[in-house]
Structure 1
Amino acid sequence: MVLTGPVRMSDSVHTRRRILTATGAIVAAATLAGCGLFDDEPEPEPAPDPLQPILDEALAMAAAYDLAIQAQATLAEQLTPLAEDHRAHAAALATLIGTVLPSGAAAPVASAAPPAGSADETLAQLRKSEQDAQTTAIAACLAAPADRAALVGSIAACRATHASALR
């Protein structure tokens, strides 16, 4: 038997072109949804730089020296270069991290009090702070990538020298 009329497979009008167009639209919508275009949530804050604690510590040490100089003016000649070293460390770290130092970067914190006691007690307190800061810098140096380890290592060495100079 010979068929001469059109053959219909179904009553729906789904052509290959319509199916491919619909599939492409679904894939495009899924891609856009996955890229965050339709997300209402803000992006999470980036993790702080691992060297930020070393920078904060350098600023705190410079402030501690400033307070000690205010409390013991006779120590100004000995302590001023050490405070300047810490400011230089903070500036180098801020450049490396890509942050800007706050204005009055090493200004004493309002809650910090000048060291009490004699000049020897002040030097002992600063020496202890330098030793603690050196320990932190050594740990950061060991954990830092090679391009940052040189700077952090030199800061650790400088802090060791400061502790020795305060004897």
Structure 2
Amino acid sequence: MAPLTGCDPFDRDAEPAPGPDPLAPLVDEALALAAAYREAAAAHPTLAGRLTPIAEAHAAHAAELARVARVALRSATATAPPGAPAADPDTALAALRERETTARQTATRACAEAPAERAALLASVTAARATHLEVLR
């Protein structure tokens, strides 16, 4: 079995891959998640107390990922998900859980493939996304 690059503390001298930074898609994903949570909170004010902090966490993750990847942080409206949130709160929460599950899987894969200096950040993002799923129950 090959070791996971992001989990090898001695892999500090790995050359960065040419081309776009692999964190760039995670920046866009975090911005889209932040927008989805904000839209759901606006559509369902009774959920705002639960959803607003998660939206803020995704926005903070996007900013930090963009800083590390040295990519421009686009506005959340540029990456907003298509369509409006579901009409009822339960369906809106289910849709957010589905998106959050996919995002957690994306972050987990990115962490496993990341060089050591990025693994801690990606592990934090992954853990936060798992926590968000608990909040959405």
Would you say same fold, with TM above 0.5?
yes
Structure whose residues are more often helix by fraction: 2
Instruction: Give the match for residue 153 of structure 1.
Output: 123
Residue-pair matches, total: 120
1:131 aligns with 2:97: no
- Percent identity between matched residues is 52
Change (3 A) 1:111 1:158: closer
Determine if contact 1:70/1:114 at 8 Å carries over to the other structure.
no
CA RMSD of aligned residues (A): 1.6
Instruction: Give the match for residue 87 of structure 2.
Output: 117
DSSP 3-state at the match of 2:46: helix
Q: State the TM-score, normalized to the length of structure 1.
A: 0.68
Q: Which has the larger radius of gyration?
A: 1
Higher normalized contact order (CA 8 Å, seq sep 6+, divided by chain length): 2
Q: State the TM-score, normalized to the length of structure 2.
A: 0.82
Instruction: Give the match for residue 132 of structure 2.
Output: 162
The runs of 4+ residues in structure 1 deviating greater than 3 Å are 108-111
Instruction: Give the match for residue 36 of structure 2.
Output: 64
Determine if contact 1:134/1:160 at 8 Å carries over to the other structure.
yes
Listed one character per residue, the Cα deviations across residues 66-96 of structure 1 (whole Å, up to 9, x for unaligned) are 1111221221111000000000000100110
Instruction: Give the match for residue 94 of structure 1.
Output: 66
DSSP 3-state at the match of 2:82: coil
Letter in 1 for 2:116: A
DSSP 3-state at the match of 1:112: coil
